[in-house]
Every structure is written in structure tokens, then in C-alpha cells.
Amino acid sequence: MTAISLSSPPPSAAPHADAPEHWVDRLLLAGPGSEECLRFGTPVDRDTLRRLVGEQAQRLALAGLEPGGTVALRLPPSLGFVVALLASWQSGAQVALLDHRLTDHEVDAAVERLAPQLLVGSAHRSAPALRGFHEVDPVAVRLPAGRPARTGHALVQLSSGSTGPAKVIARTAGDLIRELGCYQRLEEFPGEGERVVLLSSVVHVLGLVGGLLNSLHARAPLTVPERMTAAGILATVGADTRPTTVVGVPFHAELLAGAATPPPLPGLRRMVVAGELVRPGLPAAFTAKYGVPLGTMYGMTELGVIATDLSGRLHPRAQPVHGTELRLVNGELQIGMTASPYPGLDDPTRWAEGWLHTRDAAVLDAATGCVTVLGRRDSQVSIGGLKVDLTEVEQTLAALPGVREAVVVFDQGTIEAYLSTEEGAEPALVESGLARQLAAYKRPRTLAFLPALPRTATGKLLRDPAALRAAAR
């Protein structure tokens, strides 16, 4: 076993990390009453948010919620989601987040797995898919088979499931407070007097903590665009001259980089993306169009933010956030973590002896402390005894002229590639370009050309071979 370990200097104590019981009021809801904190179409000030949270907490209590209880939220991005989340935490409950785009069958399976006492949904039908936020009236339904919290975690999430079944991941209030402290120490991340335009899903870690919770904590008002089109996003950014950071996933950066000539954006300072690897060339293309950096972040649902390149100068490297201990074991990136984030799961291949196994391949630079994430370790496959890195194949395809996106998978002994291309792109030219750049044993046996690649609910590219084949058919 080979091991390389790097550790940043230990952080100063996160605010109130040892006393999280009133953290919602002290860290998220505090501040001048007339100060704008959220904007879902219309601005919401802190007095209004505090009132709405208090009223929702009373409704949850009438529905039977007690301290130590459990709540599952199935709400779209909305003021109602924010209010229900904060009210549940304020009531001392453990909250599980379910993506509103899940089918009823998927929600039923998640409820059976998590056993919440209350399921909070919307009394209104969801808006169209490209709508950025929704108008909802949260309604709590008591579930007879629900159980109170069996652990001290405040938040329960399901992983994206882009490569397989979703994992149940839990975090304490102290974990969330620690992550807010990490964001507070990132000088280039939005702070007081600045503004955040959020494109990421609020039920997953970047949109939830890096977007919503940090905006409330840092007093950097958060805005969600009315429409998640390039024109809708740019109109939202351009509607305010305050220093603005756009937070999303690489898909959103691709969308904006490919947009027509943008309108004047005097407040735009940067865009920050996370969730999957950024294709080569995207940071430069984004900066060329908008004149601002495309920052990148590496993180996991289990821990939140791990390393950042907010300036765009280090890509593909990133600097670990303060206090993050990293090591390489046989090429796998592992991260120091005192307790397992997987309640009820005893799997030493995921967490053991204080180390989280990321299953990502990486390189650590001993001189600078930077980490370069190379992709999933399971992207290394053997073809006729020869090693092939599927990430290399995928990035080579994505960099070819006319190719917008690519996903490369290995199944039943063969490499398959699924691509979306620009209008008018010729498959023969893609194939010949690939032949010039990759050895024959690395090249996919099949190339499937799709109008758009399938994605998970959070915008990540789907990597399940069966689902990709179904989309190709």
C-alpha cells in the first residue's frame, strides 16, 4: 500500500460549533429585519422570513412534530421549501430531503427506507420543467409507520445515484456549521453586500449549503431565476448591479458558454460550479465570453466543500479548504472524517478508521497542497489486458469539434460512448477525430449520438449503461 498524506492547518473553531441547538435562529435567521435575504420573483426580508418560519413551525407541531421527530420534504425550489426546512430544524427535527422530481414510486421507496413521521409536500401542482422556482403551500401528512430520529443528525440526504443506487447520507447541525465556517473563510466566495444567483438544486449539497444556507449566514441575498434558460439566467444576473456570483453545475456553465451575445452584466463577478468534472476548454470558453472566472469546487454530500479553485487560475487543480486532511492510498483520494456519514451502514470500503473513501482517483501536490481529481477510480478498465481510463476517453470525445457532451461507460466487456453534438455535426468526422487521438484499444466499440444526454434530477450526466441504452433506442 502506498500512502501520501497532506493536511491543511487546523481551522479556528467554527461559530457555535459546540452548541448547535439554536443554530437556525442565530446563524440563518438573525439580521436586520428589513434586509433582503431571498428573492423568488419578489424579495423577502428577514422579518418576513422569521414570521413565516414561526408560523410553519406551529403548523408542523399541530401535525404532530415534536423535538427529535423526523420530517421528509418533497418540495420544489421555492420560498415554501426554505420555510419548511428552517421550521423543521427550528423544531428540533431531523429532516430528509427528497427531490420533487422523483416519481411517486421513488418517493414511496424512499419513505419506506427512511421512515419519516411527516411527509411535507405541496398543495399545488409543480410548474413547468424550465421554471426556476415554484409557488407552493407546504402540506404535512402524518405517516403511521414513521419513527422518531434514531441518530443525532439534522440532515439526511440521498446521493445523486448517477453511478448506482443512492446512498443514505446524514450530517449533524455541527457538520453544517463547520461547512458554513469553511465558506466564511473563502475570501472569493460571496459575502455581505454581494448577491448569489442559484441554479443548483437546493436538495443537494452545493445548492443547499453553498447556496441557500451560506447566503442566509453570510447575508448575501439569494436569487433564483424565474426560468432556467440561458436567457432567463442572464436576465436575472443583469437585473442587479450588486457583485454577483452564479452557483451551478457544469451543465449550467456549458449552457451559458454556448449562449448568444449576452446582455450587459455589470455585477457579474464569477460563476462557480461543482458536481462533476469540468470538460477541458470550458473555463477558457466561459471567461472569453463573460470576462470573469469560472471557478470550480470539489465536494461530496458526505462532507460538503472539500477543495476549491474560485479564481479559475488553478484548474484542473484545487486548493483544499482549511482543516481538510487528504491522503492517497493506492491512487484513491481519502479524506479525514472522524465519524461515518452513513447511518446504519457498516461498510469499510466507504469509511473506516477515520477516513472517508471517495472512490475518486487524484493527484496530490506535496509542494502546494493542491489536489487534482482525475475521476472515478472505477473508470479504470481492462481491455485485452491493457488498461484504459474511461475519463481520458470521455474528455477526448468532449474536446472534439462539434461534440457538446460525452459519457463513456464500460459494460459487458466493451466500451460504449454516448454523445450529444452540435446541429449539423457529422458522426464520421467525430469517429475520424477520435481515431487520430486515441489508440484503437481505447476507442469505444459503439458511438451513440443523442439530441441530449440523459441526466439525474440534479443535472449530473447519467452513467447507468442500461438507462443510456434505453435513451439511445
**φ, ψ for residue 452 (rounded to 5)?**
-150, 145
Alpha helices in 63-146 (DSSP H): 79-90, 104-114
Position 166 scores a pLDDT of 66
CA angle (408 as vertex; 403, 410 as ends), nearest 5: 160
Structural domain includes residue 374: yes
Confirm if 280 and 256 have CB atoms less than 8 A apart. no
Q: Which of 313, 364, 305, 30 is nearest to 185 (CA)?
A: 305
Alpha helices in 291-374 (DSSP H): none
Question: What are the angstrom distances between the C-alpha of 8 and each of 302, 309, 321, 366?
Answer: 19, 15, 7, 11
| Domain identity same for 331 and 390 | no
| Domain identity same for 390 and 443 | yes
Structural domain includes residue 256: yes
Confirm if 155 and 97 have CB atoms less than 8 A apart. yes
Structural domain includes residue 16: no
Structural domain includes residue 176: no
Here the CATH number for the domain that contains residue 400 is: 3.30.300.30
Domain containing 399 equals 384-472
Q: Which cell goes with 253?
A: 456553465
Residue tagged 460525452 (cell numbers): 406
Sheet arrangement for strand 403-411? 403-411, 414-421, 446-450
| Domain identity same for 340 and 247 | yes
Structural domain includes residue 22: no
| Domain identity same for 216 and 345 | yes
Structural domain includes residue 25: no
The domain boundary residue, chosen from 337, 353, 378 = 378
| Domain identity same for 132 and 264 | no
Here the CATH number for the domain that contains residue 192 is: 3.40.50.12780
| Domain identity same for 313 and 277 | yes
Residue tagged 466566495 (cell numbers): 189
Number of domains in the chain: 3
| Domain identity same for 149 and 220 | no
Here the CATH number for the domain that contains residue 165 is: 3.40.50.980
- Helix (H), strand (E) at residue 327: strand 325-329
- The answer, yes or no, to whether the previous bond of 316 is cis (omega within 30 of 0) is yes
Separation CA 309–CA 1 (nearest Å): 30
| Domain identity same for 370 and 428 | no
Question: What are the angstrom distances between the C-alpha of 381 and each of 80, 118, 363, 387, 416?
Answer: 46, 44, 19, 6, 12
| Domain identity same for 350 and 229 | yes
| Domain identity same for 71 and 157 | yes
| Domain identity same for 225 and 280 | yes
Query: What does pLDDT average to in each consecutive run of 10 residues of the chain (473 residues)?
Result: 40 37 92 97 97 97 97 96 98 94 84 96 72 92 96 88 67 96 95 96 93 98 96 96 96 92 95 90 94 96 95 94 91 93 83 93 93 84 77 88 90 90 88 89 90 79 88 86
Confirm if 331 and 307 have CB atoms less than 8 A apart. no
| Domain identity same for 243 and 336 | yes
Confirm if 470 and 437 have CB atoms less than 8 A apart. no
The domain boundary residue, chosen from 171, 197, 231 = 171
Q: Which cell goes with 69?
A: 421527530
DSSP string, 201-257: -TTSHIIIIIIIIHHHHHT--EE--SB-SHHHHHHHHHT--S-EEEEE-HHHHHHHH
The domain boundary residue, chosen from 171, 201, 224 = 171
